[in-house]
């Protein structure tokens, strides 16, 4: 009976420690709260290149851990957020950014919703004009009884 109690206590202790075992970011927080906030913001803006649908902050893979460490070191070196993002884009391409920058290569992507909305309004107006023209023609004709 005593062995069962010890086993239960050991199991409960292991479960209490389990969240610490699965922590994603093992790097201690930065001492400066402003730097820590910049670190968190940057790691949420950058995409994990291995997972591709998770941010660096949320990804458990080794590559994401290395990139988080790289971001931290660059922050401690005094680089600005833009410099860090530029270096990551230079190394991994625009895909690393969750929010792509607007430039001449992706301008079509940013303008496409506006173009589609204008085209939809144009098509909708033509359909309404056609229908109203048909309604006007039908009003003048007698009904077949």
d(CA 66, CA 72): 10
Angle at 116 between CA 111 and CA 122, to 5 degrees: 130
Q: Name the token pair of 73.
A: 């070191």
Q: What is the mean pLDDT of the chain?
A: 82
- So what's the pLDDT on residue 82? 93
CB distance 70 to 39 below 8 Å: no
Please report which confidence band the pLDDT of residue 51 belongs to, taking 50, 70 and 90 as the band edges: confident
Name every residue whose Cβ is closer than 8 Å to that of residue 54 and which is 6 or more positions away in sequence. Answer: 47, 48, 64
> What is the average per-residue pLDDT within 17-35?
66
d(CA 54, CA 77): 26
73-114: pLDDT as tens digits: 999 999 999 999 999 999 998 889 888 777 787 788 778 999
3-state secondary structure of 55: strand
Name every residue whose Cβ is closer than 8 Å to that of residue 95 and which is 6 or more positions away in sequence. Answer: 47, 49
Residue 114, φ and ψ in degrees, nearest 5: -65, -45
- So what's the pLDDT on residue 39? 92
d(CA 26, CA 65): 9
State pTM to two decimals: 0.59
């Amino acid at each position: 009976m005593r062995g069962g109690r010890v086993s239960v206590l050991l199991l409960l202790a292991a479960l209490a420690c389990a969240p610490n075992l699965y922590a994603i970011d093992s790097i201690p927080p930065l001492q400066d709260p402003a730097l820590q906030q910049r670190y968190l913001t940057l790691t949420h803006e950058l995409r994990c290149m291995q997972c591709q649908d998770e941010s660096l902050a949320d990804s458990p893979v080794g590559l994401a851990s290395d990139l988080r460490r790289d971001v931290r070191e660059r922050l401690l070196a005094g680089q600005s957020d833009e410099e860090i993002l530029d270096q990551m884009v230079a190394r991994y391409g625009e895909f690393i950014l969750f929010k792509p920058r607007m430039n001449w290569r992706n301008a079509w992507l940013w303008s496409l919703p506006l173009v589609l909305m204008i085209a939809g309004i144009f098509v909708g107006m033509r359909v309404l004009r056609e229908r109203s023209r048909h309604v006007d023609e039908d009003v003048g004709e007698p009904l077949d009884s």
